[in-house]
Structure 1
Amino acid sequence: MKLSVIVPLCALFTFTKQAPSPDKCVCEVNNSEQHFPHSKLKTVEDKASSCNSNTTPQKSLELEILLLGLDRRLPQLEEDVSILEREDDGDLYGVLSMYVIENEIAEIRQLINKLNSTTWEHQILTEKTTQQLEDIGAEMQQLEKFDTQQLVERQQANQHLRRDLTRCRNEHHLNASTAPPPPGNCPHGQFLNITGPRIYTAGEYPGSYKYGAWGRDPIPEAGKESWYWMVILTSGNKYAHYVRLYSSLSSLIVGISAPGNVQISPSNPTTNTIQGPNVVLYGSGLYYNCYNMDAVCRFNLTTKSVTTVKLPAGTRYNSKGNFCHLDECYPYTDVDLATDESGVWVIYTTSNDFGNLVISEVLEGEPPRLGRTWHTSVYKQGVTNAFVACGVLYATRYVSKDVEQIFYSFDTATGKERFDVGIFMSKMSPNIYSLNYSPMDQMLHVYSDSFMVSYKVLFERTSENLL
């Protein structure tokens, strides 16, 4: 076995026998192969690093922010001109109105100049990056000549096979039924890890509201596929009475809510008020813990009607069964709502379960109703938050102000519990007040000390796609 390895290696060298001395034999070994150009490889690595640092998501976000700002200013200018035309008295009022309009035009001109400048910079960056990528490709082809063992060629062939296999699997899933999979039947494979944060933003009200929630509707109305929602607890970190909508992720980041607020109740706290930060949107219905009740409310964003589903007797509410860690409990987190590929879930605890987590399906309807229920053996006040992905309940715990750990899982399909999940999350702020999984894009949406943060969930097939 060793000889089969040595023989081809020897083919790379030539041996020259020199005149031996009486007491020893000397051989000179000459390498017949070209020396590997390490300096060229270092140059390629530097160019690739330069491309990565110059072409970032923030570059495209700059352009989109300017476009959003322009889109916001132009209708306002048009409205102000209309007011001037209707109410101009030819005297002081007209002069003041003209002064306001002149300022608006000046601001719009500045935006347009900045937009032109940014567009020109992006065009130059695109041309430069394209040339760099072509140069890198040519240099890599030169370096491949030194791959005498054909390792790179075989690796590329394996990547092509993986890509073809992934495409075949995706086509198979597209041709399959589009009905939501039953709990435990995950179309993405096993949950492996999370990466991120991907998004980290203070949004429209930086530092103003400590508790809240945000995310996407997993089954949105037609034309609203890119919309995001946000609920902030505006009354003592306890209550909210409206949901705020955004037409895109960029709009949410820069704080432009074109659809605006959808009001549930006129004030806080009152009947139908949102209680606590654990809120989700599913099928144009906002699900939340009803004010002063052991029940789940569903607010229909289309009809503006509210229906409720009562939770089992003994359910702890009104801050009697919160998520906690050693130093702090998060008030009014007794009833936690979650979404996944199969629908809506409610996570809570009861006196009959001695404070352990309970999870139930929330079945759609008017009114909604509870479906199957599972009882776990993990103590709720030893958990900081929870979410559901593919019918599996995951619980987190506080490790430090910088790290949270997904430590527990409960599979509703098999009833199997694990306390050794061991997936760590890097936090941008110490406390996570709401945490929800979006089956639409396999993201975790976190509301943390007034910041909105997102993480990408990696499943088996996600990881295959990254290879």
Structure 2
Amino acid sequence: MMLLVLVLLLSASSPALAWIPVQDWESGNVTTSVDSSGQCICHVFLPDTTFPADRVEHMQQVSKDLILEVEIQKNKMVKYKGKLVIYLEELKQLEARLAILESSPDDYIKLDFEMLRIELREFEMLVSQLKDSLNSSSPLFNSLYIEIHNMTLLVNQLETYDKSNLEVIRHQFAKLQMKLEECQKDQDIIKPDIGSCNHTGILSFSNPLVVQFNAHLSSGYVYGGWGKDSKPIRGYENLHFYGAYTSPGSVYDFYFYSNYENLLLRKNYKRITLPTDWVGVGNNYIVHSNSIYYQHNTPFSMTKFNLTSSTYDYRVISGASTSFSYAYSASQNLDFAADETGLWVMYASNGNKGKIVIAKINENSFGIENTWHTGVYKQSAGNAFMICGVMYASRTVDVNTEEIFYAYDTKTKQERNLSIQFKKFQNSYTNLDYNPSDQKLYMFNDGYYVTYNVKFNKE
């Protein structure tokens, strides 16, 4: 024990006396006496221990370690939160696909495999056409025949034994399809002369190439469109888009893919949902120079959404009427088109008695530069598009055949009747657009992505 001697002034109000517990006074640990000068001397006996500095230092280090650990765990929680958002989105997509499977799993699987067979038959037909046209027995064609044959066998095998491997065959199918695309580009007979108008117009179309069933995997999405940016900007040279709906009314959703392969595989897409004030209508929209051009009804106008700046703009077209649409679908009053000469919009007016009016759009001011009045009644046409300043209108021949029956040249102001027939995969379609960046015709054919190679008369 050690002895602590305190010299205190004898005062009832002394805080030092008040600091010592009463029980310690009574236990004998504290004794008091008074010296000759009248001062009170207290003798306090404390345990013989030193101050635990080492333990305090240890506790300080433990405290620092705990604070660091808490920060680490907090950072992990932030990362987990971000991952959770991604996983929840993926889960929603899986739930949507599962709902389709649960509603009619047999039909879904049957539809997918039947679609693959149809596309493989289209491939085989196109390879045969190329081979006959070139009068060639190149090993390249034999290699493609073998690959198509092997893919057909694989489709049948997977459908019979393991339907869960559908995505595997889709991936292989996408590779084969891109290989065929490259084969097409390498052949002089269909090699496009991009940007050139050194021809007298359309000579013929290839057979339809059924690219894919729509990204919603539903036969109900028959209204819509798809395609490729007709004037791609740097860094987005292969931008593809898709939008479709179950009714011809509102247009509000678009899906964008960085390239053709991602479109085929339905992955890595960017979804744009138009806000309520900017919802569109009709299905004759296009993507041009990284902007969506579509019809807006409040007010009735042509509208532009810039994907780069995420800004909206609109222009009311004097004379354009909402009373006239194409034969296959309602509300298609404004039809946007792009060709080698620029950007266009087609519509019908009361002043032109329901016949199509062609208007050239100034891309910088987003205004109308000039207009041409054609002689074709809009409601008699299935759709229309522009190539090198010439408008071509289509109409149905029968359930399997479509026909380009009319053309109007904005340079000469001359119109002529035509009969250029081409096959359809399905009876009706809601979007038909020419793309000058690859000289192909893009059609949204009752829920299917379809393309045609355009052959021009160069004589």
Select the structure of larger CA radius of gyration: 2
Residue by residue over 1:216-264, the C-alpha shift from the partner in whole angstroms, topping out at 9 and shown as x without a partner, is 1122122221221112236x331122321112222212322x1421232
Partner of 1:262: 272
Conservation of the 8 A alpha-carbon contact between 1:321 and 1:355 = yes
Structure 1 residue aligned with 2:258, among 241, 244, 247?
A: 247
Q: Is 2:433 the partner of 1:432?
A: no
Conservation of the 8 A alpha-carbon contact between 2:241 and 2:256 = yes
> In the superposition, relative to structure 1, how do residues 51 and 241 fare at CA in structure 2: closer, same or farther (>3 Å)?
same
- TM-score when normalising by structure 2: 0.58
Residue by residue over 1:323-374, the C-alpha shift from the partner in whole angstroms, topping out at 9 and shown as x without a partner, is 11xxxx5111111111111221111111111101101011112x51011100
Q: Give the counterpart letter for 2:411 in structure 1.
A: A
Q: Give the counterpart letter for 2:274 in structure 1.
A: I
Q: Is 2:405 the partner of 1:399?
A: no
Partner of 1:145: none
Structure 2 residue aligned with 1:194, among 205, 218, 227?
A: 205
Q: Give the counterpart letter for 2:321 in structure 1.
A: R
Conservation of the 8 A alpha-carbon contact between 1:274 and 1:290 = yes
Q: Is 2:285 the partner of 1:279?
A: yes
Residue by residue over 1:161-183, the C-alpha shift from the partner in whole angstroms, topping out at 9 and shown as x without a partner, is xx8xx99x98xx9xxxxxx7xxx
> In the superposition, relative to structure 1, how do residues 50 and 283 fare at CA in structure 2: closer, same or farther (>3 Å)?
closer
Q: After TM superposition, which residue ranges in structure 1, 4 or more long, deviate above 6 angstroms? A: none
Structure 1 residue aligned with 2:306, among 300, 307, 325?
A: 300
Q: Secondary structure of 2:230's match?
A: coil
Structure 1 residue 47: Cα displacement: 11
Q: Secondary structure of 2:278's match?
A: coil
CA distance, structure 2, for counterparts of residue 228 and residue 407 of structure 1: 29
Structure 2 residue aligned with 1:323, among 322, 326, 339?
A: 326
Partner of 2:445: 448
CA distance, structure 2, for counterparts of residue 321 and residue 284 of structure 1: 29
Partner of 1:361: 360
Structure 2 residue aligned with 1:226, among 216, 220, 238?
A: 238
Partner of 1:412: 410
CA distance, structure 2, for counterparts of residue 47 and residue 282 of structure 1: 38
Structure 1 residue 196: Cα displacement: 2.1
Gaps of 5+ in 2: 1-134, 152-163, 177-187
Structure 2 residue aligned with 1:382, among 380, 383, 395?
A: 380
Q: Give the counterpart letter for 2:354 in structure 1.
A: G
Q: What do you get for the CA RMSD once the two structures are aligned?
A: 3.6
Aligned residues: 297
Structure 1 residue 53: Cα displacement: 6.3
- TM-score when normalising by structure 1: 0.57
Structure 1 residue aligned with 2:419, among 403, 418, 422?
A: 422
CA distance, structure 1, for counterparts of residue 301 and residue 136 of structure 2: 58
Q: Secondary structure of 2:351's match?
A: helix
Conservation of the 8 A alpha-carbon contact between 1:275 and 1:292 = no
Structure 1 residue 436: Cα displacement: 0.3
Q: Give the counterpart letter for 2:423 in structure 1.
A: S
Q: Give the counterpart letter for 1:307 in structure 2.
A: D
Structure 1 residue 187: Cα displacement: 3.8
> In the superposition, relative to structure 1, how do residues 208 and 252 fare at CA in structure 2: closer, same or farther (>3 Å)?
farther
Q: 1:176-187 alignment to 2 at 5 Å?
A: 186-187=197-198
CA distance, structure 1, for counterparts of residue 145 and residue 255 of structure 2: 29
Query: Identity of counterpart residues, as a percentage?
Result: 27
Q: Give the counterpart letter for 1:409 in structure 2.
A: A
Conservation of the 8 A alpha-carbon contact between 1:295 and 1:310 = yes
Structure 1 residue 383: Cα displacement: 0.8
Gaps of 5+ in 1: 1-45, 63-106, 122-162, 174-179
Q: 1:30-429 alignment to 2 at 5 Å?
A: 48=137, 52=141, 55=144, 186-188=197-199, 190-206=201-217, 207-233=219-245, 236-256=247-267, 258-265=268-275, 270-313=276-319, 315-317=320-322, 320-324=323-327, 329-365=328-364, 368-419=366-417, 421-429=418-426
CA distance, structure 1, for counterparts of residue 375 and residue 351 of structure 2: 12
Residue by residue over 1:270-295, the C-alpha shift from the partner in whole angstroms, topping out at 9 and shown as x without a partner, is 32112110001111111011134331
Conservation of the 8 A alpha-carbon contact between 2:222 and 2:447 = yes
Give the strand-richer structure, 1 or 2: 2
Conservation of the 8 A alpha-carbon contact between 1:245 and 1:260 = yes
> In the superposition, relative to structure 1, how do residues 250 and 316 fare at CA in structure 2: closer, same or farther (>3 Å)?
same
Residue by residue over 1:184-230, the C-alpha shift from the partner in whole angstroms, topping out at 9 and shown as x without a partner, is x8245532111121243213223241111111112212222122111
CA distance, structure 2, for counterparts of residue 292 and residue 333 of structure 1: 15
Conservation of the 8 A alpha-carbon contact between 1:271 and 1:291 = no
Conservation of the 8 A alpha-carbon contact between 2:210 and 2:448 = no
